[in-house]
Amino acid sequence: MKQTAIYTKGHFIILDIENGPLLYKIGFFGKPLEINKPKTPIFKARMILSFYEALYLMENEELEILEESGLKMSREKLISEANKFIDNFLEKYNVYKDLRNKGLVVKSGMKYGVTFMVYKYGPGIDHAPFLVDVVIRQEKISSLEILRAGRLSHNVRKKLLLASVDPISRKITYYMIKWFI
């Protein structure tokens, strides 16, 4: 069932408390506004989606987005808005899409200082075994940044992957960082 979200000031809100949560149930898309951590995938609540989730669902024709004016939002407009909030949005989105297309559940990794947290089954079902940080090939990454991320991922018992998108071929390469003691 195709959902409708309203875009307002950097947020995509699904107001339908009956059908909106179906996106969470089928693929852990979004999060409920009224429930902190759902204990079950069956609930009633308004839903909020990230830019990554909104674009992915839009491209898969599972979501229509309306601007506050009531006009239908285009893919180009969504990307333009995302770029106001997220540096290198398209590179990060390409990694998000690749992971989702591999059947993984992808959530924000902000609390760990990385781009994404990746689950095999989903939040509340398993713990995220991977942290994925998207690195831009044209930018330098310091050894100190790698050490910090590697140490953190080791302490929280998650594998750290660095993802890089080739600017020409758009091919994504993943590098696993292993922490040795």
Q: In terms of domains, do 105 and 55 share one?
A: no
pLDDT > 80? residue 171? yes
List the catalytic residue out of 24, 56, 96, 119: 119
pLDDT for res 56: 98
Whether residue 181 is found in the same domain as residue 128:
yes
Number of H helices, E strands in the chain: 5, 10
Among the listed residues 128, 97, 98, 100, the one whose alpha carbon sits nearest the alpha carbon of residue 114: 128
AA letter at 120: K
Which of 85, 102, 137 terminates a domain? The answer is: 85
Residue 30 maps to which CATH number?
3.40.1170.20
- Same domain, residue pair 68 and 98: no
pLDDT of residue 164: 93
For the stretch 39-97, pLDDT in tens is 777 889 999 999 999 999 999 999 999 999 999 999 999 999 999 999 999 999 999 99
What pLDDT is recorded for position 180?
64
User: In this predicted structure, what is the pLDDT of residue 181?
Assistant: 59
- Assess whether 93 and 5 both reside in one domain: no
12, 6 contact by CB (below 8 A): yes
Residue 106 shares a structural domain with residue 172: yes
> What domain range is 177 assigned to?
87-181
- Which domain-ending residue is among 54, 85, 116? 85
Same domain, 74 and 95: no
Among 72, 127, 174, 175, which one carries the catalytic annotation? 127
pLDDT in tens, 128-141: 889 999 998 777 77
Average pLDDT over every residue of 149-163: 75
Please answer whether residues 92 and 134 qualify as being in contact, where contact means their C-beta atoms are separated by less than 8 angstroms.
yes
Decide if pLDDT at 149 tops 70. no
Q: Is 52 annotated in the active site?
A: no
**91 and 78 in a common domain:** no
Domain identity same for 55 and 23? yes
Pair 76, 108 in one domain: no
Which residue among 63, 85, 107 closes a domain?
Answer: 85
Indicate if the pLDDT at residue 118 is higher than 90.
yes
Residue 173 has pLDDT above 90, yes or no: yes
Please check whether residues 96 and 43 belong to one and the same domain: no
pLDDT digit string (tens) for 12-25?
A: 999 999 999 999 99
Give yes or no: 11 in active site: no
Range of lowest pLDDT (25-34, 90-99, 121-130): 121-130
- Does residue 157 register a pLDDT over 80? no
SS3 content of the chain, % helix, strand, coil (to 5): 30, 25, 45
The answer to whether residue 34 scores a pLDDT higher than 90 is: no
C-alpha dist (Å) from residue 132 to 83, 114, 156: 20, 6, 14
70 shares its domain with 92: no
Question: In the annotation, is 119 catalytic?
Answer: yes
Q: Decide if pLDDT at 154 tops 70.
A: no
